[in-house]
């Protein structure tokens, strides 16, 4: 039993943190917020140069072949630095699905370019069971995909999309025939969304016979990785609130000396640590392919979603009026927490997945 990361892994995490401190500053993130870029190319380039994008991609395919535990720590730092780049679709989803289920040719074609940050792949691998706009669902016939999908992260920046259609995992060239895409306004503009519309677009299937199973595993993995982003973001929001509470004075003393403030921050700390504990357990289950992954991933996702939303909301609140201004970064956390917590299905859906897993295990 060893319930923690190794010293080498921690050193690597520190290195990622140092690089992001310079290359994912709020100036970088706000360029995307203001619509000047679809994602932050500088951050993306630096993460690629560091080997962070390809950290779980085999060396034979241009990665550093370290593993998913290391990728979890990259994710924590990305969350802390509010990285505005396509980690979720390109790395957590597409690269993982291709690594697991792609043919040798597909792996050779895509993995080196994903590791280098040269290619961005949009990916929707979860079931998207909450429907508002009720587009015609995706369908596959004669190797061609039709239908539409809403709220696709980085859909405008991507050159291809990886989709789960009729139980198959397929790659679609977004620059090809029969594809239309429309930019959508996102509640978190640092993580843009698009609507993809297909009308008989050519779809290239991955090798996996059972695409739904691979997709479910990859989505569980992404839930763990997002949990690390959420824990990193939540810790940053908490520390921002702490720093403000130490410096801001009212009624003749630092507001951080009032129990109403202290206890609120202590609650957030406890909530984040519970989320972190589940994220670590999820990391282990993901990296070892443990049978516990569905339970571990769902618990990590629910705990991390509630923790980051709470931390972002209360951190903004503790900043007072200034926290409600565009100028401060509080709203970046509020937006990102909401975005991360819903992009892979809501907290409620994942809580139900967790309950199902627990009830099944107790049978």
Partner 1 sequence: MDFNDTPEEAAFRAQVRTWLEANATAKRGRDDTFRAGLSEAEYLAAARAWQKRKAAAGYAAIAAPREMGGLGGTPAMQVVYSQEEARFLTPDRVFEVSLGTALPTVAMWGTPEQKASYLQPAFEGDHVWCQLFSEPSAGSDLGNVRTRATREGDEWVITGQKVWTSGAHFAQYGILLARTDWDQPKSKGLTMFILDMGLPGIEVRPIRQISDEAHFNEVFLSEVRLPDSARLGPENQGWKVMLSTLMQERFSLGENFSGDLYAQIIDLAREVEWDGRPAIEHARVRSGIADAYIAQFGVELIVRRGMSAISRGESPGPEMAAVKLVGARAFQTGGALAVELGGAEGLIAQEDLGPEWRLPQLLWISAPGARIAGGTDEIQKNTIAERVLGLPGELRTDRDVPFRELEG
Q: How far is CA 70 from the centre of its chain?
A: 15
Q: At what angle do helices 7-23 and 41-49 cross, to 10 degrees?
A: 150
Complex with partner 1: residue 246 or 322, whichever CB lies closer: 246
Q: How far apart are CA 159 and CA 199, in angstroms?
A: 17
Q: How far is the CB of 279 from partner 1 (least distance, A)?
A: 10
Q: How far apart are CA 232 and CA 236, in angstroms?
A: 6
Indicate whether 10 belongs to the interface with partner 1 (CB under 8 A). Answer: no
Indicate whether 144 belongs to the interface with partner 1 (CB under 8 A). Answer: no
Q: How far apart are CA 35 and CA 40, in angstroms?
A: 11
CB-count burial class (<10 Å; 0-12, 13-18, 19+) for 57: buried
Complex with partner 1: residue 179 or 354, whichever CB lies closer: 354
Binding to partner 1 (CB under 8 A) within 231-270 occurs at 238, 242, 245-246, 253-254, 256-257, 259, 261-263, 265-267, 269-270
Complex with partner 1: residue 165 or 275, whichever CB lies closer: 275
Give the count of residues interacting with partner 1 (CB under 8 A). Answer: 51
Taken as a whole, the chain contains a residue count of: 363
Q: How far is the CB of 356 from partner 1 (least distance, A)?
A: 8
Q: At what angle do helices 259-288 and 211-247 cross, to 10 degrees?
A: 150
Indicate whether 310 belongs to the interface with partner 1 (CB under 8 A). Answer: no
Complex with partner 1: residue 157 or 268, whichever CB lies closer: 268
Q: How far is the CB of 28 from partner 1 (least distance, A)?
A: 28
Stretch that binds partner 1, among 83-91, 159-167, 181-189, 286-294 (CB under 8 A): 286-294
Stretch that binds partner 1, among 96-104, 156-164, 287-295, 336-344 (CB under 8 A): 287-295
153: β partners: 193
Q: Yes or no: say if 88 and 343 are a contact pair by the CB < 8 Å rule.
A: yes
Distances (CA, A) of 4 to 73, 209, 279, 284, 299: 12, 36, 11, 9, 18
Q: Which stretches of the chain bind partner 1, using CB under 8 A?
A: 1-6, 69, 238, 242, 245-246, 253-254, 256-257, 259, 261-263, 265-267, 269-270, 273-278, 280-281, 283-285, 287-288, 290, 298-299, 302-303, 348, 351-352, 354-356, 358-359, 362
């Amino acid at each position: 039993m060893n319930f923690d990361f190794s010293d080498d892994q921690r050193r690597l995490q520190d290195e990622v943190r140092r690089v992001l401190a310079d290359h994912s500053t709020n100036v970088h993130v706000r360029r995307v917020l203001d619509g000047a870029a679809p994602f932050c190319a500088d951050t993306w380039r630096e993460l690629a140069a560091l080997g962070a994008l390809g950290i779980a991609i085999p060396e034979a395919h241009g990665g550093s072949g370290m593993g998913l535990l290391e990728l979890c720590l990259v994710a924590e730092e990305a969350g802390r630095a509010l990285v505005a780049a396509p980690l979720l679709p390109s790395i957590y989803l597409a690269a993982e699905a291709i690594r697991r289920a792609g043919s040798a040719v597909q792996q050779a074609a895509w993995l080196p370019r994903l590791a280098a940050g040269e290619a961005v792949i949009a990916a929707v691998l979860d079931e998207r069971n909450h429907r508002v706009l009720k587009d015609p669902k995706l369908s596959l016939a004669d190797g061609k995909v039709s239908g539409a999908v809403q709220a696709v992260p980085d859909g405008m920046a991507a050159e291809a999309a990886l989709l789960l259609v009729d139980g198959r995992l397929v790659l679609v060239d977004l620059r090809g025939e029969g594809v239309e895409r429309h930019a959508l306004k996102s509640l978190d503009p640092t993580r843009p969304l698009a609507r993809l519309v297909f009308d008989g677009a050519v779809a290239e299937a991955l090798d996996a016979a059972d695409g739904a199973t691979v997709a479910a595993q990859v989505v569980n993995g992404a839930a763990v990785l997002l949990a690390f982003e959420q824990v990193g973001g939540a810790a940053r929001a908490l520390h921002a609130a702490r720093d403000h509470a130490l410096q801001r004075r009212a009624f003749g003393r630092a507001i951080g000396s009032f129990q109403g403030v202290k206890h609120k921050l202590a609650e957030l700390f406890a909530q984040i640590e519970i989320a972190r504990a589940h994220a670590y357990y999820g990391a282990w289950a993901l990296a070892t392919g443990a049978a516990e992954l569905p339970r571990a991933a769902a618990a990590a996702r629910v705990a991390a979603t509630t923790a980051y939303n709470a931390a972002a909301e209360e951190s903004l609140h503790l900043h007072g009026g200034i926290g409600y201004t565009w100028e401060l970064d509080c709203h970046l956390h509020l937006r990102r927490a909401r975005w991360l917590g819903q992009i892979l299905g809501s907290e409620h859906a994942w809580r139900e997945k967790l309950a199902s897993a627990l009830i099944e295990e107790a049978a």
